[in-house]
Structures are given as C-alpha cells and as structure tokens.
Amino acid sequence: MRILITGGRVIDPSQEFAGRADILMEDGLIKTFARDKKLKGEDLSGQDRIIDAGGMWVIPGLIDMHTHLREPGYENKETIRTGSLAALHGGFTTVCAMPNTNPVNDNPGVTEFILKKARAEGNARVLPIGAVTKGQTGEELAPFYMMREAGCVAFSDDGRPVANPIIMRRALEYARGLDALIISHAEDPLLSDGGVMNEGLLSVTMGLKGSPSIAEEVMIYRDIALSELTGGRVHIAHVSTMGGVRVIRQAKERGVNVTAETCPHYFSLTEEAVSGFNTHARVNPPLRTHKDVEAIKEGLKDGTIDIIATDHAPHSRAEKISRQFDDAPPGISGLETALPLSLALVELGVLSEMELIRKLTQNPAKALRIDGGTLREGMSAELAIVDPQRRCVVEAGENFISLGKNTPFDGMELKGAVIKTIFREKVMEWQRA
Amino acid sequence: MASAGGRHLLGIKELSAQEIMLYLNSAGSFKDILKRDIKKVPALRGRTVVNLFLEPSTRTRTSFELAAKRLSTDVINFSAPSSSILKGESLLDTALTVEALGADIIIIRHSSSGTPHMLSRHLKAHLINAGDGTNEHPTQALLDAFTIKEKKGGFEGLKVAIVGDIIHSRVAKSNVYCLKKLGADIRLVGPATLLPEEFSELGVNTTSSMDEGLDGADVIMMLRLQLERQGKGFFPTTAEYFSQWGLSRKRLEAAKRDAIVMHPGPMNRGIEIASTVADGENSVILEQVTNGLAVRMAVMYHLDERKDQ
C-alpha cells in the first residue's frame, strides 16, 4: 500500500527542512520526500491513499525517551497496549519504557517480555530502558551487556536516584565499555528527605514536607563530575530547577558530553498547581517556582536542555483522588498533552518550530543513538499530522487513551492537536472535540 | 447569619476576618451558657457528630465531645486503635461509612496535611479540621484568639510572640494566619532549623533571639516541643533548648508586666516552659481549655446553619 501526504507544511529537523513538501510512503517506508515539486497522485491505485494535509504540519513521529508503561506488574495503571496507543494519540511513534516495573527490568528476560508484547500490539515502537542496579536498589549493577543484546537502549534507576556515588561511578565506567547511556534521576535522597512538593513558602503554609531544589542541583553536579571522571555518558532526566540548568550549562561550556531533558509540566506550571492539595499536581521532581520555569525555558532556548520528554507516569484514579497528598503516588499522565504544551513554547517565542520538533525527535534519537525521528527517504514511515491552530480542552476522563487520567491540565484549553499518526502501515485518525 | 462562610472549617487560611469575629462573638454567648447551672442547650438536638480521630489525642477529642454534648447532639467517637483503618480499610471508605451512619458533622484529625480537604471533595457532612499534619489546627487558633480578646480587649497592634518548633506546628500556623488577619504584630521565635525564613514573607518578624522576640510582648504563646526532633538534627539537647528558647521567670521579664502566657498543651515542663511560669500569675493556660469548649460549640452551631450551600 502506498500513502501520499500532500499540501502540508513539513518540519523535519534531521534534514534542516521546514516548508511545503509532499511525502510518499510505500510498505511502511518513506519512499519519496519531494521538497519542491508536487507529487501527482495519478499513478496511485484504488487501494492507495491520498491524505490532504493542507493547513497542517507534518512532522516526524515524536520520540519520548522517558515513559512509564507500568507493565509488567502495574497493569491497573497502564499496559503496554494502552500506553503505546496513548503514545500514538499524542504523536509519539517511539517510547522508551522505564524499568521500574514489577519485576524490575533488570534482566534480559523482562526486556524480552516487554519487546515481545510491544511487537504483538504493533502500536508505536517500544524501546526498553534497563535498570542500572538489580531491583533498582542502588546496590549491585544489572547485567548491561546481556540487557543491551536483549534490546535495552539505555540504563536508568529512574524513580529513584543511584544514591551511592561509588555505584554510580562503577555504572558509568562499566557502561563506557558498551557506549551505553546512563540516565540520571538526579535527586539527593538525603536532602530531599521525603519531601512531597517544592520546598518554599507554599510547602511551609500547606504543612507539606518540602524537597529543596538543591537536592536536584547537587546530584546533577555529582553525576556530571562522575561522567567527566569516567568518560561514561550521562543524561539528566526531568530537569526542574534553575540551579540544575545552571550546572548543566556550565558543564557544556567546558565541553562535557552531557545531555538533558525537561518535561512539559516543568515549563508550563509552578508549584501553585498543588494548592488545595491537588494530588494531580504531585510529581517527582516537584513543580517549582516561576523563576525555575523561566530558567527551564532559557535552558531550552540556549540548548542547555536538549530534549523534551514526557515522564508519562500514569496512576489509577483511586490512587490519586482518594488518598491524602503525601500518600498519593507522584506522576502525571503526559503522553497525550505533551505536544500541545510544547507548541506553546513556539507561541511564546522560546523556540522556533524547527528547534521544538528537534527536541522531540532528532535530539532524543541522537542521545540514545537510535534511528527514527526523521522523514528521510528509506526510513520507517513514522510521522504525525498536526493542526497547529486547533484548540482542544483536555478531558482526560473522556479523551485519554492512557489508563492514567491523572493530569493537572484537565479542563485546560490547549492549542495544537495531533490529527493523524502514521506508524509504518497503520494510519490512526483521531477524533477531536 | 449575614456572614457567608463555607460548609466546612478546613483551616484559618480559608476564613475572612469577619468570619473569625463571628465565631469569636458567638463563642462569647456560648461561654455564658457554660457558666449556667444547666450547661446544655437544645440547639443541635437530633444531629449526629462523629469524632474521627486517627492520631492520638485526648484533650482535643474530649473538648469536641463535650462541646457537641452541650449542644444536645449525639456523639460517636471513632479513634485509631479501634478503627477499621487498622484492618486495611481506606480512610475515605471509613469516612463514607461514618457518613452513611448519618453523621451531620465529622470532626477529623489526621497526621497527613490536607486530609480534611481531600475528604471534603467526597463527603456531604460538615467537616471540622481538628488538626491535619503540620498544616492547621483552626479551632485551637480560634480559642487562642478568643482568650486573647477576653484578656486584652482587641488585636490591633498587639505584640504576640510565638515560640518554639514553628515549622512543624499546626497550632503556630493557624495562629499566624488568624492573628495576622485580626491585625496583631507577630514575632516568631525559635532555632533557625525549626523556623524557616519563608515565614517573613507572610508579614511577620522572625528571630532566633528570645530576648528580642519577647521584648515588650503582650502575648507569649509557647509551643510543645516534639522530643523526637532531637534525633533528626533540629536541636542538640533539651537542656540547650531550654537555655535558649525555654520560658523561665527571668526571660518573662522582657515582656510587658501584664503579658499573658499561653500553651496549647500538653506541656513539657522544664523543656519549653518552667513550671513557675506555667502555674504563675501570667498564665492563662487552663482558661484556654475552658474557652475551647465555647469556641467549638460556636463552630458547630454555625456550620450546622449552612445547610444549603
């Protein structure tokens, strides 16, 4: 089967291209990327398909390098099936599954289980991230080589920091041997000390235990220093603080090979969102202050922050709404709001269209050394068609495919909507209110 | 009643100065009733009040229970050791069960901040926060304000020193919000580990010096020191704590001669307050307990009126 997308505005950072182009796909691959000339649909047969993308953006399928799919073990929160479909719904054709499942993805058996299940579903490409330590307990290294052979694309104890510095040092050294990326959940647990929101006036007046922003800053500093010492590659997950941005910027200035990501909630919301003990705004690291939000935007703008990831962390309704704030699990269901929230950065003049899409496609592909995130001829046909003007109200209960309806953006009107997602030979059309 | 208050009493943060004064004025009337020979009024006859106390408490629970009985309600006590929470039932399920039994007013104490706020999204009964984590203890602040008003006549420009473990004290926080709204001049005193800088953003003065904090004070509010904080690096020893932030007779001299000394109880004598001060002529500590009854009657009485909001 062939699919022709015609008349759209194509933005593909991997080819430094933004403009009108037609794209012809055949058997799940991109056959022709026609920059200037219009492709004629005349030689297409009845089974082929022409999609008119007039007024739309056509972008490479997005890559989320930070997703919690919850399976195996927490299928009440999300499954590989629902999570990968939610990904397509959000314009993501690749998601990297964090290992904090039950059992933890700390051995090739679990890796293979995830890949097998994902392939059977055939929605989005699922790339597992293995644990740094067995059981994510921070004590003994997991078998990186065997897990990489099984299909892991990076290693992380995400959800928990690798607290012991000697273990992080060994992990970076060991990972250097196979050029694997270590993703750091940068939080010094002794400093965050059980904090459940950002430390500051609001945590004091709400009577909630605060987690200071330096708990992140100090750990980023440690992991960058260990990366310099060992030559192992480190990627800083979910940067949320002004201090964190500063430390990464300084490291990049002296030539350290470090990459960093932030998430839409860290540039869209402040700690005020937890007012009224709103558990949907409980997330780790916590939402910070206006100053931090501005620093995150500045970091995105000057390239300190390379990547936008979702940290999609679905939870069941009961866990969020019928528990006290300090007892509710942290996390935001993010796959289905990430793109419109990120598009606001273009509107605000923080990023150009090209730079925004780069942080959602080419940069995560580069950091992970994987293919994808491109519309080059011969590559897998994975792309999203986006209406940048369409305004939609987030109605998680009604509209999310993810089982996780937990989002502080519920009820907000966002601009920009994914209209269609193409994943190889599959064309998904999304109904939007 | 003219003042439109909420259906619940979740915290002082949510109240206007006008609503605080409404409670204080009504508490005055209820205090008169408590001086009568027959101390019971039929105001809330037929209503059911449930004390849902999921953190150890004797004083506050007893005070609410007696206040509810003085209003002729039926009172049920539901406390942690005997509750089904221990059998694995969720707090929300327990609260819904209590409501299904016909509770009109649920008085909730819990160790997690925001518990009453969470329950208020699920329940139809009126909720009274009897202390949630380190957030608020609104009826304590109201009874403290009532006591101050009785002794000092008003609040405008009154110098109030609140001393001790401020960060972990829901009593201190509710008092700060309450007395600030009523126009008092507040100083918070304590070691910097227990008194974060952020409080100054609320328009109150903060100091680690007891002499500075007590200078010319009209009201001194001492807080209970949680002894388990010693092991967590907040202060080194109780002896050092008393030497710097304990209220002794000598220290009291820095305040006005007619200053009143308050404590929400239970006291650690010799750790935050000397016995000679606790039992001395400036102390109003036992009167606070009596006033607590009148204030809690007033709160239940007014919440019950707000049926249709």
Q: What is the pLDDT of residues A307-355, one digit of tens each?
A: 999 999 999 999 999 999 999 999 999 999 999 999 999 999 999 999 9
Does the distance separating the beta carbons of A200 and B90 come in below 8 Å? no
B137 touches chain A (CB under 8 A): no
Q: Which of B92, B113, B120, B201 has the highest number of chain A CBs within 10 A, making it the mutation to test binding with A? A: B113
Q: Does a structural domain hold residue A401?
A: yes
Measured between CA atoms, the residue of chain A closest to residue B131 is: A207
Q: Are residues A87 and A134 in the same domain?
A: yes
Residue range A381-393: mean pLDDT, rounded: 97
User: What pLDDT is recorded for position B1?
Assistant: 37
- Cβ-based contacts of A274 with chain B (< 8 Å): none
pLDDT value of position B88 = 62
Nearest to A324 among B114, B173, B198 (CB): B114
Q: Residue B112 is nearest to which of A200, A322, A325, comparing CB atoms?
A: A325
Q: A117-167 pLDDT, tens per residue? A: 999 998 999 999 999 999 999 999 999 999 999 999 999 999 999 999 999
The domain in which residue A179 lies consists of 61-368
Those residues whose C-beta lies under 8 Å from the C-beta of residue A346, and which sit 6 or more positions away, are A352, A353, A356
Structure tokens at A128: 């597992």
CA distances from B181 to A272, B12, B17, B145, B174 (A): 22, 9, 6, 11, 11
What distance in Å separates residue B179's CA from the closest CA in chain A? 15
Q: Are residues A336 and A420 in the same domain?
A: no
The residue of chain A with its CA nearest to that of B115 is: A324
For residue A241, pLDDT beyond 80:
yes
Q: Give me the DSSP letters along B91-144.
A: HHHHHHHHHHTT-SEEEEEESSTTHHHHHHTT--SEEEEEEETTTB-HHHHHHH
Judging by beta carbons within 10 Å of its beta carbon (0-12, 13-18, 19+), is residue B215 exposed, middle or buried? middle
Across the interface, whether the CB atoms of A277 and B114 are under 8 A apart is answered yes
Q: Are residues A54 and A65 in the same domain?
A: no
Q: What is the ipTM of this complex?
A: 0.91
Residues in B closer than 8 angstroms to A282, CB to CB, are: none
**How far is residue B138's CA from residue B147's CA, in Å, rounded to a whole number?**
14
* Phi, psi values for residue A85, rounded to 5°: -70, -40
Phi, psi values for residue A186, rounded to 5°: -85, 95
Find the mean pLDDT for residues A192-208: 97
Q: With 80 as the cut, is the pLDDT of residue A66 above it?
A: yes
Quote the minimal CA–CA distance from B10 to chain A in Å: 11
Closest residue of B to A199, CA-based?
B198
Q: Is the pLDDT higher at B91 or at A42? A: B91
List chain B residues with CB under 8 Å of A323.
Answer: 90-92, 118
| Same-domain check for residues A225 and A324 | yes
Residue B268 has pLDDT above 60, yes or no: yes
Question: Do A20 and A164 belong to one domain?
Answer: no
Q: Measured between CA atoms, how close is A296 to chain B, in angstroms?
A: 23
E-assigned strands of A53-124?
A: 57-60, 62-67, 92-97
Q: Average the pLDDT over A387-415 and give the result.
A: 97
Please write the tens of the pLDDT for every residue from B199-210.
999 999 999 999
Out of A206, A276, A322, whose CB is closest to B90? A322
Alpha-carbon dihedral angle through residues A148, A217, A164, A265, given to the nearest 10 degrees: -50
Measured CA to CA, the distance from residue B134 to residue B164 in angstroms comes to 14
Q: How far apart are CA B32 and CA A431, in angstroms?
A: 67
Residue B18 predicted with pLDDT over 70: yes
Same domain, residue pair A102 and A250: yes
Whether pLDDT at A433 is above 50: no
Residues of A labelled as active-site residues: 311
Q: Residue B228: what pLDDT?
A: 78
Looking at residue B86, what is its pLDDT? 58
Domain count for chain A: 2
Whether the CB-CB separation of A56 and A9 falls below 8 Å is answered with: yes
> What are the Cα distances from residue B286, in Å, to B209, B219, B256, B292?
27, 15, 21, 10
Q: A373 lies in a domain?
A: no
Average confidence (pLDDT) over A220-240: 98
Average pLDDT for residues B138-149, to the nearest whole number?
98
On whether residue A173 sits in a domain, the answer given is: yes
* Residue A312 phi, psi dihedral angles, 5° rounding: -50, 115
Question: B256, B217 in Cβ contact below 8 A?
Answer: yes
CA atoms of B199 and B173, how far apart (whole Å): 10
In contact, B152 and B179? CB cutoff 8 Å: no
Q: Which two tokens stand for residue A99?
A: 């290992």
Q: State which of A342, A368, A394 marks the end of a domain.
A: A368
Does residue A38 surpass a pLDDT of 80?
no
The pLDDT confidence band at residue A301, using thresholds 50, 70 and 90, is very high
User: Would you call B83 helix, strand, or coil by DSSP?
Assistant: coil
Per-residue pLDDT tens over the stretch A275-298:
999 999 999 999 999 999 999 999
Please name the helix (run of DSSP H) or strand (run of DSSP E) that holds residue A396, with its range, or none.
helix A396-399
Reported as a pLDDT band with limits 50, 70 and 90, residue B3 is very low
The predicted-structure confidence for A328-337, as pLDDT tens digits, reads as follows 999 999 999 9
Same-domain check for residues A43 and A65: no
C-alpha torsion B137→B140→B145→B150, nearest 10 = 170
Is the pLDDT assigned to residue A41 strictly greater than 90?
no
Residue A365 pLDDT > 80, yes or no? yes
Task: Determine the residue of chain A that is closest to B135 in CA distance.
Answer: A207
Look at residue A33 and tell me if it is in a domain: yes
Q: Domain boundaries in chain B? A: 17-137+289-305, 139-285
CB-neighbour burial class of residue A329 (10 A; exposed 0-12, middle 13-18, buried 19+)? middle
**pLDDT tens figures, B117-137:** 999 999 999 999 999 999 999
Chain B residues in contact with A206 by the CB 8 A cut-off are 113-114, 135
Please indicate whether the domains covering B17-137+289-305 and B139-285 agree at the CATH topology level: yes
Which CATH number do you get for residue A343? 3.20.20.140
Cβ atoms of A377 and A30 within 8 Å: the answer is yes
Q: Which residue has the tokens 């609320």?
A: B202
B12 to A75, B26, B91, B137, B225: CA distances (angstroms):
41, 17, 24, 8, 22
Lowest mean pLDDT among A1-5, A241-245, B26-30: A1-5
How many CA atoms lie within 13 Å of B278's alpha carbon, on the beta-carbon side?
17
pLDDT for residue A219 is more than 90: yes
Of A200, A208, A322, the CB nearest to B113: A208
Mean pLDDT, all residues of chain A? 96
Q: Could you give the 3-state DSSP secondary structure of residue A414?
A: strand
A414, β-bridge pairs: A392
CA distance A208 to chain B (A): 6
A151 inside domain: yes
For domain B17-137+289-305, give the fold. Rossmann fold (3.40.50)
DSSP labels, A141-164 = B--HHHHHHHT--EEE-TTS----
Of residues A428 and B231, more confidence is placed in A428
pLDDT confidence tier of residue B63, bands split at 50, 70 and 90: very high
Q: Which residue of chain B has the CA closest to A193?
A: B232
**In this model, does residue B308 exceed pLDDT 90?**
no
**Quick check: B2 pLDDT over 50?**
no
pLDDT (tens digit per residue) in B85-107:
656 678 899 899 999 999 999 99
Query: In sequence order, which residues have a C-beta less than 8 Å from that of residue B192 and are 6 or more positions away?
Result: B208
Average pLDDT of the residues of chain B = 93
Q: What is the mean pLDDT of residues A111-122?
A: 96
The arithmetic mean of pLDDT across residues A400-410, rounded, is 98
Categorize the per-residue pLDDT at A260 as very low, low, confident or very high, splitting at 50, 70 and 90. Answer: very high
- Tell me which residues of chain A have a C-beta less than 8 Å from any C-beta of chain B: 200-201, 204-208, 276-277, 279, 321-327
Is B165 part of the contact surface with chain A (CB cutoff 8 Å)?
A: no
Q: b vs e for A91-126, b when ≥16 Cβ sit within 10 Å of the residue's Cβ?
A: bbbbbbbbbbbeebbbbbebbebbbebbeebebbbb
Please tell me whether residues A358 and A396 are part of one structural domain.
Answer: no
Q: Does B281 touch chain A (CB under 8 A)?
A: no
Has residue A215 been placed in a domain? Answer: yes
CB contact under 8 A, A208 and B198: no
Assign residue A41 the CATH number of its domain.
2.30.40.10
Non-local CB neighbours of A107 within 8 Å, separated by 6+ positions: A142, A143, A146, A147
Angle, CA of A353, A69 and A227, to the nearest 5°: 70
Cβ of A327 within 8 Å of Cβ of B112? The answer is yes
Average pLDDT on B249-259 reads 97
Residue B4 has pLDDT above 50, yes or no: no
DSSP, collapsed to helix, strand or coil, labels residue A19 as strand
**Does residue A384 lie in a domain region?**
yes
- Report the percentage of chain B scoring pLDDT > 70: 95
Question: Does pLDDT of B28 surpass 90?
Answer: yes
Query: In this complex, do A200 and B117 lie within 8 Å of one another by their Cβ atoms?
Result: no
Does B122 contact chain A (CB < 8 Å)?
yes
Domain B139-285 CATH superfamily: Aspartate/ornithine carbamoyltransferase (3.40.50.1370)
Q: Which residue has the higher pLDDT, A19 or B88?
A: A19
Name the E strands within A249-381: 258-262, 307-308
B96 touches chain A (CB under 8 A): no
Q: Tokens standing for B308?
A: 């249709």
Query: Token pair 């193409």 is at which residue?
Result: A422
Residue A431 vs residues A45, A304, A399, B11, B151: alpha-carbon distances, Å: 27, 36, 9, 44, 67
Residues from chain A that touch B188, judged by Cβ atoms under 8 A, are: none
Q: Are B213 and B257 in contact (CB under 8 A)?
A: no
Q: What is the pLDDT of residue B82?
A: 56
CA distance B159 to chain A (A): 22
How does residue A432 score in pLDDT terms, banded at 50, 70 and 90?
low
* Min Cα–Cα distance to chain A from B213, Å: 21
What mean pLDDT do residues B250-259 have? 97
Kindly state whether residues A299 and A413 are assigned to the same domain.
Answer: no
